[in-house]
Amino acid sequence: MRYFALILFFSGFLSACQQTQKGPFEADFADYPTLREVFGNVDKYQVQILYTRIDRNEHGNPLFTDFAFHLDDERYFYPASTVKLPIALLALEWLEEQDVEGLTLETTMLTDSVRPSQIPAYLDSTSQNGLPSIGHYIKKILLVSDNDAANRLYELLGLDYINGKLKEKGLDHTVITQRLSFPISPEENRQFNPIRFVDKEGKTLLELPARHTDSIYVVPGSPKLGKAFYRNDSLFQGGMDFSFKNKFALSDLHGVLQRTIFPQAFFESQRFNLSAEHRDFVLKYMGMLPGESAYPTYDTTEFYDGYSKFFKFGSSKDPIPKQFRIFNKTGWSYGYLIDGSYFVDFENGVEFFVSAVVYTNENQTMNDGNYETEEIAKPFFAELGDYLYQLELKREKQIPADLTAVDFR
């Protein structure tokens, strides 16, 4: 079943970029001590939230009502791994554009290197056949936020394609400039590896040469964060420069999620152009838990259910009940924790979107590994997720949600 949706914006939503949105975030949060702490110190924790209620009309089409809390697309935060979601979606869009016979999600993708800063990839021990592919890279991105997998798709697409496509789709507060957890210069990040796709007999189906871009992508405002930072074990005073890091504003993350779950809510030019098969592939692995995956397989002691499902379940290592499914992408770096989620409870017909960022870096020192993630950030997401879930449980709906199209359990 494909979704057809309409968007209904909450009155005053546009002004919420500058001020707290009245509504669900005006509670006293007596039962949620971390929410009280964070909401009482919004500047310190740099918190932003975007929450979308979903109702259905008589045809089952969803209608959105948005509530924003301190949403500010101009205020920079480091998006970390959340940028992997649009890169994965664009890799599928690119694949469909090639129209090469035999070129599929499973086709072997061989990455070569022609510069000292580049690393080749000819094998992947976590895949069933031991070989890399677009599909397997996307699985690893969505299941455990694998950095290397995202970098391989970055190298496939290049910065001009990534940034151009995102701009076309109306994601105007996003700039991609770099690979992840791969410390090389901005110039080297503008160089992209040669890549070949080969069939099972080793025949080349498509070959891309080494490429580069002359365009220089930079974060507007050249943001500097913190009061000090470490680089190569040396401490430097002053803010850390994020000009050549990535930017992915919270409203854009939220918009990517909505485009993925309900593509027909957007003009065709704003959608990710995916086939039904590719979209279902994304949804399946976006909602899957690490322990449910056969290839790749993951040690559930490290990759427990809530490892990358922050809302409601992120501060516990207990199994997530089977009635829930969270289609999301998280990010975690420099004291920032981010999660953008479509949250579903199949038993009670609950569905809603929520995206949030919180910053926990008491000493204001970047890259020292000393953040209040366990004490503040994870409990914040767990409490916020539970608070919104409880609101949705009590909220009366005239027409129940049909959630069969996202039931990949």
DSSP letters, 344-359, are EETTTTEEEEEEEEEE
Segment 45-86, tens digit of pLDDT: 999 999 999 999 998 888 999 999 999 999 999 999 999 999
**Phi, then psi, of 385 in degrees rounded to 5:** -60, -45
Residue of 206, 186, 175, 188 whose CA lies nearest to 119: 188
pLDDT at residue 12, as a whole number: 35
| Structure confidence by residue, pLDDT tens digits, 378-403 | 999 999 999 999 999 999 999 999 99
Angle (nearest 5°) at CA 251 between 249 and 253 = 70
**Tokens 């992915």 belong to which residue?**
248
- Residues 6 or more apart from 224 whose CB is under 8 A from it? 238, 239, 240, 241, 242
Q: What is the rounded distance in angstroms from the CA atom of residue 162 to the CA atom of residue 146?
A: 19
Question: Which three-class secondary structure state does DSSP give residue 318?
Answer: coil
**348, 393 contact by CB (below 8 A):** yes
Question: Residue 401's pLDDT is what?
Answer: 93
Nearest by Cα to 118 from 167, 56, 188, 61: 188
Position 1 scores a pLDDT of 36
Q: Where are the domains of the chain?
A: 6-76+250-406, 81-241
pTM metric for this prediction: 0.93
Q: If you average pLDDT over every residue of the chain, what do you get?
A: 93
| DSSP E strand boundaries for 99-215 | 108-111, 174-175, 191-192, 195-198, 204-208, 211-212
φ, ψ for residue 263 (rounded to 5)? -60, -30
Tens-digit pLDDT string for the chain (409 aa): 333 333 333 333 333 333 334 589 998 999 999 999 999 999 999 999 999 999 999 988 889 999 999 999 999 999 999 999 999 999 999 999 999 999 999 999 999 999 999 999 999 999 999 999 999 999 999 999 999 999 999 999 999 999 999 999 999 999 999 999 999 999 999 999 999 999 999 999 999 999 999 999 999 999 999 999 999 999 999 999 999 999 999 999 999 999 999 999 899 999 999 999 999 999 999 999 999 999 999 999 999 999 999 999 999 999 999 999 999 999 999 999 999 999 999 999 999 999 999 999 999 999 999 999 999 999 999 999 999 999 999 999 999 999 999 999 8
Half-sphere exposure at residue 204, Cβ-oriented, CA atoms within 13 angstroms = 8
The pLDDT, as a whole number, for residue 59 is 84
Encode pLDDT of 137-158 as tens digits.
999 999 999 999 999 999 999 9
